[in-house]
Amino acid sequence: MSTTVPGRLLPADLARTASGGLRTRRMRAALSALGIAIGVAAMVAVLGLSASSQAGLLAEIDALGTNLLTVTPGQTISGGDAELPYEAPGMIARIGPVEMTESTGSVDTEVYRSPHIPRFNTNAISVGAASLGLPEVLRAPVAKGAYLNAATAEQPVAVLGADAARRLGISELYDGLRIQVGGQWFYVAGILAPAALAPEVDSMVLVGYPAAQRYLDFDGHPTTVYVRAQTDRVADVQAVLAATANPEHADEVSVSQPSAALEARAAAQSALNGLFLGLGAVALLVGGIGVANTMVISVLERRSEIGLRRALGATRGHIRLQFLSEAVLLAALGGAAGVAIGSAATFVYAHVKGWATVIPPLAWAGGLVAAVLIGALAGLLPAIRAARMAPTEALRSV
């Protein structure tokens, strides 16, 4: 007496059988894969855009330098506003590892495009006395016109920060262009490019120290001192800045490193990733439900095929593996499409922003793995149901 041993289902046969089931129902398969694709694309785009944004910001920080320190007045013991001594910039400049020292001083007055502007409409523009090397120390070049020099610093001449120019409605310079600063006409000599490390300068109208004292009753106290130190000695300089700027009241001086704030901003951006990844996971779950629905309907529609294959010698394992493979293949195709869509979206957005395109391996590999797992879980129950179908019952529908 001889027994027939069921043949093995070779990988090539399994792939051909699984893909055949999808090819005969292309529209339904495409719509099911679309749900998976949307979820994976969302996950890849979120991680890719976050990584590209951080890479762009860190590249900007590297270009601007991490050796800029700022010195500002803090609070007195009684809780009032402290002042930096007149000599603070000069004393700081004598610190050995300090390469450059420039300063600004806050001037208590308003700026208007013309005297006809209502007094309450200040547009949050401030006025500051500025030293002559400020653009160089901030690495914020003059975008249009020219900066102050030894001559114009003593005259009613102003340079606008990038935001101040926009709020005043000034985009181009011409001879005789003037604005009102504290009731006095000042000629506009230039407009600065945005200062990433000192955003407060962007909303300022800058005049020379001598002009501020002569025309605007400026008291001469610096309110912010910008210090460039040797890169490998930043920590050493930071440790002595307060005591150097105000030896009598070092506790009334605040010292900060602007690049550290930008790095913290880069870290804060990634904190929102969890929310968007959660939305992507929801879309992926919905796509998985679509795959499961497709496979359940496929099992019902293909009862005759299942019965015929069982009658020809296919085992329950063969049937189970066939339908499970269809679900995995369907999800994998959706995952691959999602990776492509997410990567393309990341590339386009990063290119527009001028960032380097960075797609972490966790994004595309994790997206594909998640898609395959979702497909396997979605197809497991329909595959088991198909395998349990008796050949005689299935053949009734032939």
pLDDT in tens, 345-392: 989 988 888 888 888 887 888 888 888 888 888 888 877 877 777 766
Residue (of 33, 39, 37, 17) closest to 324 by Cα position: 17
pLDDT for 55 equals: 76
The CA–CA distances, whole Å, from 17 to 6, 216, 325, 350, 378 equal 17, 85, 9, 41, 19
Give yes or no for residue 4 having a pLDDT over 50.
no
Q: pTM for the full model?
A: 0.60
Every domain of the chain and the residues it spans? 12-61+268-395, 67-256
CA 113/CA 123 separation, integer angstroms: 11
pLDDT in tens, 206-224: 999 999 999 999 999 999 9
Give yes or no for residue 108 having a pLDDT over 50.
yes
CA 271/CA 234 separation, integer angstroms: 28
Phi and psi angles of residue 280, each rounded to the nearest 5 degrees, phi first: -65, -40
Strands (DSSP E) contained in the chain are 68-73, 98-107, 111-112, 126-130, 142-145, 157-160, 178-181, 184-192, 204-208, 224-229, 253-256
Q: Among 93-97, 167-171, 182-186, 321-325, name the one with the lowest average pLDDT.
A: 321-325
Q: Which has more confidence, 363 or 163?
A: 163
